[in-house]
Amino acid sequence: MIVVTGASKGLGRAICERLIEKNIEVFGLARNVEDVPFSSMSCDVSSYESVRVVAQHLKKRAVKVTGLVNAAGIASMNLAVTTPQSVAQKIINTNLLGTIYCCQLIAPLMLRNKHGSIINFSTIAVVLGLKGESIYAASKAGVEGFTRSFAREMADFNVKVNCIAPGPIDTSLLKGITAEQINKIVSQQIIRKQFKPDSVADLVELLIDGRSDSLSGQVLHVGGA
Protein backbone atom coordinates (compact mmCIF):
# COMPACT_ATOMS: atom_id res chain seq x y z
CA MET A 1 0.00 0.00 0.00
CA ILE A 2 1.18 3.52 -0.80
CA VAL A 3 0.19 6.31 1.61
CA VAL A 4 -0.34 9.64 -0.17
CA THR A 5 -0.82 12.93 1.67
CA GLY A 6 -2.69 15.84 0.09
CA ALA A 7 -4.85 13.23 -1.60
CA SER A 8 -8.03 15.29 -1.97
CA LYS A 9 -6.86 17.59 -4.76
CA GLY A 10 -4.05 18.79 -6.98
CA LEU A 11 -0.90 16.74 -7.39
CA GLY A 12 -1.75 14.37 -4.54
CA ARG A 13 -5.07 13.48 -6.11
CA ALA A 14 -3.50 13.02 -9.57
CA ILE A 15 -0.84 10.73 -8.07
CA CYS A 16 -3.48 8.64 -6.29
CA GLU A 17 -5.51 8.29 -9.46
CA ARG A 18 -2.44 7.21 -11.43
CA LEU A 19 -1.43 4.59 -8.86
CA ILE A 20 -4.97 3.22 -8.68
CA GLU A 21 -5.00 3.05 -12.48
CA LYS A 22 -1.87 0.88 -12.20
CA ASN A 23 -3.61 -1.40 -9.67
CA ILE A 24 -1.51 -0.15 -6.78
CA GLU A 25 -3.33 0.07 -3.46
CA VAL A 26 -3.52 3.64 -2.22
CA PHE A 27 -4.41 5.14 1.15
CA GLY A 28 -5.10 8.86 0.83
CA LEU A 29 -4.70 11.43 3.59
CA ALA A 30 -6.18 14.91 3.53
CA ARG A 31 -7.80 17.31 5.97
CA ASN A 32 -11.13 16.80 4.21
CA VAL A 33 -11.71 13.39 2.62
CA GLU A 34 -15.46 13.75 2.04
CA ASP A 35 -15.10 13.75 -1.75
CA VAL A 36 -12.21 11.30 -1.95
CA PRO A 37 -13.48 8.23 -3.86
CA PHE A 38 -10.78 5.80 -2.65
CA SER A 39 -9.55 4.44 0.68
CA SER A 40 -8.67 7.45 2.79
CA MET A 41 -8.57 9.03 6.23
CA SER A 42 -8.76 12.56 7.50
CA CYS A 43 -5.38 13.88 8.64
CA ASP A 44 -3.80 17.25 9.27
CA VAL A 45 -0.13 16.60 8.48
CA SER A 46 0.93 19.67 10.44
CA SER A 47 -0.27 17.93 13.61
CA TYR A 48 2.06 15.22 14.94
CA GLU A 49 -0.84 13.69 16.87
CA SER A 50 -3.06 13.56 13.79
CA VAL A 51 -0.35 11.74 11.80
CA ARG A 52 0.28 9.41 14.74
CA VAL A 53 -3.38 8.39 14.77
CA VAL A 54 -3.08 7.46 11.08
CA ALA A 55 0.13 5.48 11.69
CA GLN A 56 -1.50 3.58 14.55
CA HIS A 57 -4.56 2.87 12.40
CA LEU A 58 -2.37 1.40 9.65
CA LYS A 59 -0.37 -0.60 12.17
CA LYS A 60 -3.53 -2.06 13.70
CA ARG A 61 -4.79 -3.04 10.27
CA ALA A 62 -1.43 -4.77 9.70
CA VAL A 63 -1.25 -3.42 6.18
CA LYS A 64 2.05 -3.68 4.36
CA VAL A 65 3.03 -0.09 3.67
CA THR A 66 5.61 0.05 0.88
CA GLY A 67 5.51 3.73 0.03
CA LEU A 68 4.80 7.23 1.26
CA VAL A 69 4.20 10.22 -1.00
CA ASN A 70 4.26 13.52 0.86
CA ALA A 71 2.28 15.62 -1.58
CA ALA A 72 0.43 17.81 0.93
CA GLY A 73 1.57 21.37 0.67
CA ILE A 74 0.45 24.97 0.73
CA ALA A 75 1.83 28.10 -0.89
CA SER A 76 1.38 31.81 -0.43
CA MET A 77 3.09 33.92 -3.03
CA ASN A 78 4.07 37.10 -1.27
CA LEU A 79 7.12 39.07 -0.28
CA ALA A 80 8.50 37.86 3.05
CA VAL A 81 8.13 41.35 4.55
CA THR A 82 4.43 41.45 3.74
CA THR A 83 3.63 37.90 4.82
CA PRO A 84 1.79 37.69 8.16
CA GLN A 85 3.52 35.64 10.83
CA SER A 86 0.56 33.26 10.99
CA VAL A 87 0.87 32.50 7.26
CA ALA A 88 4.64 31.95 7.50
CA GLN A 89 4.06 29.58 10.42
CA LYS A 90 1.35 27.68 8.53
CA ILE A 91 3.59 27.22 5.48
CA ILE A 92 6.47 25.86 7.57
CA ASN A 93 4.15 23.69 9.66
CA THR A 94 2.45 22.08 6.67
CA ASN A 95 5.26 21.84 4.13
CA LEU A 96 8.27 21.13 6.31
CA LEU A 97 7.01 19.78 9.62
CA GLY A 98 4.18 17.92 7.88
CA THR A 99 6.71 16.08 5.72
CA ILE A 100 8.95 15.36 8.71
CA TYR A 101 6.06 14.09 10.86
CA CYS A 102 4.81 11.77 8.12
CA CYS A 103 8.31 10.40 7.55
CA GLN A 104 8.91 9.95 11.29
CA LEU A 105 5.67 8.09 11.86
CA ILE A 106 4.95 6.23 8.62
CA ALA A 107 8.53 5.10 7.86
CA PRO A 108 8.60 2.73 10.88
CA LEU A 109 5.83 0.77 9.11
CA MET A 110 8.31 0.10 6.26
CA LEU A 111 11.38 -0.68 8.38
CA ARG A 112 10.14 -4.13 9.36
CA ASN A 113 9.82 -5.19 5.71
CA LYS A 114 13.20 -3.69 4.84
CA HIS A 115 11.65 -2.29 1.70
CA GLY A 116 10.03 0.99 0.78
CA SER A 117 10.07 4.25 -1.11
CA ILE A 118 9.41 7.69 0.31
CA ILE A 119 8.81 10.62 -2.02
CA ASN A 120 8.87 14.16 -0.68
CA PHE A 121 7.99 17.31 -2.58
CA SER A 122 10.09 20.40 -3.08
CA THR A 123 9.82 23.10 -5.74
CA ILE A 124 11.87 24.60 -8.52
CA ALA A 125 11.63 27.85 -6.52
CA VAL A 126 14.42 26.54 -4.26
CA VAL A 127 17.09 26.43 -6.98
CA LEU A 128 15.78 29.43 -8.90
CA GLY A 129 15.40 31.65 -5.82
CA LEU A 130 12.10 33.01 -7.08
CA LYS A 131 10.96 36.43 -5.90
CA GLY A 132 7.77 36.32 -3.82
CA GLU A 133 8.30 32.70 -2.82
CA SER A 134 10.93 33.08 -0.11
CA ILE A 135 8.96 31.49 2.74
CA TYR A 136 7.55 28.76 0.51
CA ALA A 137 11.05 28.11 -0.89
CA ALA A 138 12.51 28.07 2.63
CA SER A 139 10.02 25.41 3.71
CA LYS A 140 10.86 23.31 0.65
CA ALA A 141 14.62 23.82 0.98
CA GLY A 142 14.14 22.31 4.43
CA VAL A 143 12.38 19.36 2.83
CA GLU A 144 15.34 18.85 0.46
CA GLY A 145 17.84 18.91 3.32
CA PHE A 146 15.69 16.56 5.36
CA THR A 147 15.36 14.22 2.38
CA ARG A 148 19.14 13.90 1.89
CA SER A 149 19.83 13.11 5.55
CA PHE A 150 16.78 10.92 6.04
CA ALA A 151 17.77 8.91 2.95
CA ARG A 152 21.03 7.97 4.72
CA GLU A 153 19.16 7.07 7.91
CA MET A 154 16.80 4.78 5.98
CA ALA A 155 19.38 3.21 3.66
CA ASP A 156 20.24 0.33 6.03
CA PHE A 157 16.57 -0.61 5.99
CA ASN A 158 16.39 -0.57 2.18
CA VAL A 159 13.97 2.36 2.21
CA LYS A 160 14.69 4.92 -0.52
CA VAL A 161 13.94 8.58 0.10
CA ASN A 162 13.79 11.01 -2.79
CA CYS A 163 12.35 14.39 -3.58
CA ILE A 164 10.48 15.68 -6.63
CA ALA A 165 10.82 19.40 -7.29
CA PRO A 166 8.21 20.52 -9.82
CA GLY A 167 8.02 23.82 -11.61
CA PRO A 168 4.62 25.50 -11.97
CA ILE A 169 2.38 22.47 -12.54
CA ASP A 170 -1.17 23.18 -13.60
CA THR A 171 -3.00 22.68 -10.26
CA SER A 172 -5.04 24.72 -7.78
CA LEU A 173 -1.79 25.68 -6.01
CA LEU A 174 -1.20 28.14 -8.86
CA LYS A 175 -4.46 29.95 -8.15
CA GLY A 176 -3.77 33.67 -8.22
CA ILE A 177 -0.58 33.44 -10.26
CA THR A 178 -0.79 35.14 -13.65
CA ALA A 179 0.08 33.44 -16.93
CA GLU A 180 2.90 35.94 -17.31
CA GLN A 181 4.41 34.93 -13.96
CA ILE A 182 4.11 31.25 -14.86
CA ASN A 183 5.79 31.83 -18.22
CA LYS A 184 8.62 33.69 -16.51
CA ILE A 185 9.33 30.70 -14.25
CA VAL A 186 8.94 28.17 -17.06
CA SER A 187 11.45 30.13 -19.16
CA GLN A 188 14.08 29.46 -16.47
CA GLN A 189 13.61 25.68 -16.62
CA ILE A 190 15.92 23.60 -18.84
CA ILE A 191 12.87 22.26 -20.66
CA ARG A 192 10.85 25.42 -21.17
CA LYS A 193 7.29 24.17 -20.94
CA GLN A 194 4.65 23.97 -18.27
CA PHE A 195 4.16 20.37 -17.24
CA LYS A 196 0.91 18.68 -16.24
CA PRO A 197 0.28 16.63 -13.08
CA ASP A 198 0.69 13.51 -15.26
CA SER A 199 4.43 14.20 -15.65
CA VAL A 200 4.80 14.30 -11.87
CA ALA A 201 2.77 11.09 -11.55
CA ASP A 202 5.20 9.49 -14.05
CA LEU A 203 8.10 10.29 -11.75
CA VAL A 204 6.25 9.02 -8.68
CA GLU A 205 5.56 5.77 -10.52
CA LEU A 206 9.25 5.50 -11.40
CA LEU A 207 10.40 6.11 -7.82
CA ILE A 208 7.96 3.56 -6.43
CA ASP A 209 8.93 1.01 -9.03
CA GLY A 210 11.68 -1.48 -8.13
CA ARG A 211 13.68 -0.37 -11.18
CA SER A 212 14.67 2.85 -9.43
CA ASP A 213 16.33 1.06 -6.50
CA SER A 214 19.65 2.79 -7.20
CA LEU A 215 18.19 6.23 -6.44
CA SER A 216 18.05 7.69 -2.95
CA GLY A 217 18.60 11.12 -1.44
CA GLN A 218 18.05 12.76 -4.82
CA VAL A 219 16.07 15.83 -5.86
CA LEU A 220 14.48 15.41 -9.28
CA HIS A 221 13.55 18.70 -10.95
CA VAL A 222 10.54 18.46 -13.24
CA GLY A 223 11.50 20.41 -16.34
CA GLY A 224 15.12 20.55 -15.22
CA ALA A 225 16.86 23.30 -13.28
Partner 1 sequence: MNTQNSIVNTVFSQIQHLLDDKSRSVTEDMPLIGGESVLDSMKLVELCLALEDTAAEIGFEFDWTSDATMSRSRSMFRTAGSLAAEFISQMETKK
Q: Which residues bind partner 1 (CB under 8 A)?
A: 48, 52, 55-56, 59-60, 104-105, 108, 111-112, 153, 156-157
Residue 40: count other Cβ atoms within 10 Å of its Cβ.
20
Q: How far is the CB of 209 from partner 1 (least distance, A)?
A: 26
Close Cβ partners of 190 (under 8 Å, ≥ 6 residues apart): 221, 223, 224, 225
Residue (108 or 224) nearer to partner 1, CB: 108
Q: How far is the CB of 115 from partner 1 (least distance, A)?
A: 14
Residue (108 or 129) nearer to partner 1, CB: 108
Q: How far is the CB of 156 from partner 1 (least distance, A)?
A: 5
Q: How far is the CB of 4 from partner 1 (least distance, A)?
A: 20
Q: Is 162 exposed, middle or buried (0-12, 13-18, 19+ CB in 10 A)?
A: buried
Q: How far is the CB of 48 from partner 1 (least distance, A)?
A: 7
Helix axis angle for 98-106 and 48-60, nearest 10°, is: 30
The backbone torsions φ and ψ at residue 49, rounded to the nearest 5 degrees and listed phi first, read -65, -40
Residue (34 or 156) nearer to partner 1, CB: 156
Residue (153 or 213) nearer to partner 1, CB: 153
Helix (H, G, I), strand (E, B) or coil at 12: helix
Would you say 126 and 144 are in contact if contact means Cβ atoms under 8 Å apart? yes
Residue (2 or 154) nearer to partner 1, CB: 154
